[in-house]
Each structure stands twice: as C-alpha cells, then as structure tokens.
Amino acid sequence: MKRSIPALFCLAIFALALNAAALAAEDVTLKGSFVWAQDDGDNRTGDLTAILTPDGENQWSVAFHFMWEEEPHTYLGTATGSLTAGALEGTAEHDNEDHEISFRFSGTFEDGTFAGTHGWVNEDGTLEEAGTLTLAHPE
C-alpha cells in the first residue's frame, strides 16, 4: 500500500500535465475591430475575428475573418508572440488565389487587449500602412 500511494500520486500528476498540454493546444479566438484609413478621411471600419492555432511556443497559425464591401473575407497566415502580454506580429494572405495580397500586422498585448497596425506589402516589398486593429479575448 505504501508503494501504491506514490505511484498513484505520480499518475495523477501525469494526467494533470496531459490535460494542461491538451488545453494549451486549443485554438484561441480573439474578437475586435479594424480601421482601414482612407486618404480622403472616410475611414472604413469593421468587426474582426482572429482564430489562432498553436504551432509551438509563441508560434501561431492565424485566420482573420471579416466583412469587406458586404462580402465575407478570410486571410490566413502566421503570427509570432504572446497572446497575453507583449509583442505579437505576423503576416496573412487572402484565401482566394485570384486575390493575391499579403498583409503584415504588428502590435502589443496589454491588459488582455491587442492594439496594433496593419498594412499590405507592395510588389517591391515595401509596407503600405493601412490602419489599426484591436483584438481581445472574449469575456
């Protein structure tokens, strides 16, 4: 009996570790909004949902979902950084092969909210700033 208690304790710790690893591997959904700044000041805004799937420590696959001109759009990409505090940045591309555009985003999580900027990459590789985005963990 004395040997079985430490064995059961070790088994319980192992089961908790497996459960924690499984929880850490789940998708994270963030909700927020974006602003697309227009030169004429008539900025476009919209709701934004980001679904992040862990690909390693502070490495994520990301899918951005939003409406643009009354059509649903999805941009798929990768992100690097924290989803709780500190820097997060990445790239994403439209999921439609006929609409080739690459976006970059970067910003910082503070107090559970991400505030950042986004822009598109020109053919020469330069970044054109497009606007801002905010994301947060749903309550």
The whole-model pTM stands at: 0.77
Kindly report the average pLDDT of the chain as a whole number.
Answer: 83
Rg (the chain; Cα; Å): 20
Write out pLDDT tens, residues 72-129: 999 999 999 999 999 999 999 987 767 677 899 999 999 989 999 999 888 888 888 9
Hey, is 82 helix, strand or coil?
A: coil
Q: Which residues pair with 31 in a beta bridge?
A: 49, 136
The CA distance from 130 to 64, in Å, is 16
As a whole-number percent, the residues of the chain with pLDDT over 70 amount to 81
Sequence-distant (6+) residues with CB within 8 A of 85 are 109, 110
Fold of 26-136: Lipocalin (2.40.128)
Sorted by where each begins, the domain ranges of the chain are: 26-136
Of the candidates 64, 62, 65, 60, which has an alpha carbon nearest to the alpha carbon of residue 81?
60
